[in-house]
Amino acid sequence: MRKLLTLFTSLLLLASCEKEIDFNYHEIDPIVVIEGRVTNEGTEVSVRHSRSVEDSVKSASLPGATISTYARVDSMRNKTVDDLRALHDAGYTDIMIGIESGDDEVLAHVNKGYTAADVVEQCGKLDEAGLPYNCIYLGGIAGAGRAEETAARSAEVFNQIRPQFMYLTTVTIFPDSELGAEVARGDFAPMSELERFREFRALVAALENPIVVDTRLVTNSIGFVAELPADREECLAALDEAIAGFSEDDERRLSRRRAMMRTI
């Protein structure tokens, strides 16, 4: 009985706890809101400013607004060229796609869920729709001894599509990742830092279509930005110089720096 009385008293105390909180929604600044609707009749996208709940005036679209987003290669799989063209007309002008590689062996190893042929097909739809896009290339992921080979395979794919911009980055393997477990078991050998330089060099040399490449990212040991093909020879000369002067001390120092990374 005492336990029940104690419980009943506690419930009364909790039930009587009330606190008023003032929320002044009048002073909240408007934010940009993107609304999208996909139906059997087509795709609609609008960009507007949010408005007060007391504002009776219907919010108007923001003139000249553009939309940027990230995507996967297979994000376009269930979209037609007309669907993608509608997105472009609605304001999508900057899509970043983590392609990462055009090497089927690499794509299968890291479980990307698509092939090099899929990259060509799906990005080809973006090209046909006139929807601008950029991409990310992940160096080092092919493993030791495959720098030039994987760059050549990837270049074959990139030369069939037309991204405007490419981030060249390199993989950093964390011990608690699946790839880290493969390294610990001896099933995967990471590329050396010098090999990563050679992979970038091979890719820059093989890219044929106009594109801006940028390596100025924390995971890279060398940073440059180049507009291809105009800057190709200057970029290759700088990479050749860096490769020719690369020492064992450089390898130890840069490998130690990568091993100390805990986030990217």
Q: Is the pTM of the predicted complex or chain greater than 0.75?
A: yes
pLDDT digits (tens, 9 = 90+) for 190-235: 999 999 999 999 999 999 999 999 999 999 999 999 999 999 999 9
Indicate whether 176 pLDDT > 90: yes
**What count of other Cβ atoms lies within 10 Å of the Cβ of residue 56?**
6
Confirm if 158 and 209 have CB atoms less than 8 A apart: yes
pLDDT band of 89, cuts 50, 70, 90 = confident
Predicted pLDDT at 263 = 79
Main-chain dihedrals φ then ψ at residue 8, nearest 5 degrees: -60, -40
pLDDT band of 82, cuts 50, 70, 90 = very high
| CA–CA separation, 247 and 163 (whole Å) | 35
Main-chain dihedrals φ then ψ at residue 242, nearest 5 degrees: -65, -40
Q: What is the mean pLDDT of the chain?
A: 85
Q: What is the mean pLDDT of residues 103-129?
A: 97
Task: Please report how the helices 81-90 and 116-129 are oriented relative to each other, as an axis angle in degrees rounded to 10.
Answer: 50
| Tokens 């093989």 found at | 206
| CA–CA separation, 47 and 68 (whole Å) | 12
Q: What is the mean pLDDT of residues 28-36?
A: 62
Predicted pLDDT at 41 = 52
